């Protein structure tokens, strides 16, 4: 893993209070702000110095057990 990767990780942890203001986000009834795609999340994470959370869901989005 290169140093660039490490630098982005360090930055992600060091400055966690930056808000997701650049990308349009939707909560869809949850308290999590979702962006449209993992690619966009990765781009924003680099920019805003955060980590990335990707949710993989099969089928039952409407099932509250999963969300």
Partner 1 sequence: MGALTSPEVGTFVNEHFVSSFQKVATFKIVGKQKQGGNVAAYFCAPDGRVLHVIAGPVDAATFLAESKWVVDTTKACIEKSHGDGGKFKSLFRIAHADKLRRDTGLSVEAVGFDLPDPQADGDALTFRDPSGRPLAPKLPPPPIDGPDVALGEKKFEELQKNAANAPGARACYDRRGGRVVVNNQAIVHQLLAAHAMCPIERVYGTVFENILGEKISTKPVDIVNPFPWVDKQGNRIKR
Q: Least separation, in Å, of the C-beta of 10 and partner 1?
A: 5
b/e per residue 12-24 (b: at least 16 CB within 10 A): beeeeeeebeebe
Task: Give me the least distance between CB of 24 and partner 1, in Å please.
Answer: 9
> What gap in Å lies between CA 61 and CA 4, rounded to an integer?
36
**Residue 22 Cβ, how far from partner 1 at the closest point, in Å?**
10
> Which positions lie near partner 1, rule CB under 8 A?
1-3, 5-10, 12-13, 16-17, 19-20, 23, 26-38, 40-42, 44-46, 48, 50-67
Cβ atoms of residues 2 and 10 within 8 Å: no
């Amino acid at each position: 893993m290169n140093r660039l990767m490490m630098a982005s990780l360090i930055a992600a942890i060091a400055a966690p209070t930056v808000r997701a203001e650049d990308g349009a986000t939707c909560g869809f009834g949850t308290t999590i702000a979702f962006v449209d795609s993992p690619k966009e999340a990765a781009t924003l994470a680099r920019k805003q110095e955060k980590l990335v959370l990707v949710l993989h869901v099969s089928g039952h989005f409407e099932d509250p057990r999963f969300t």
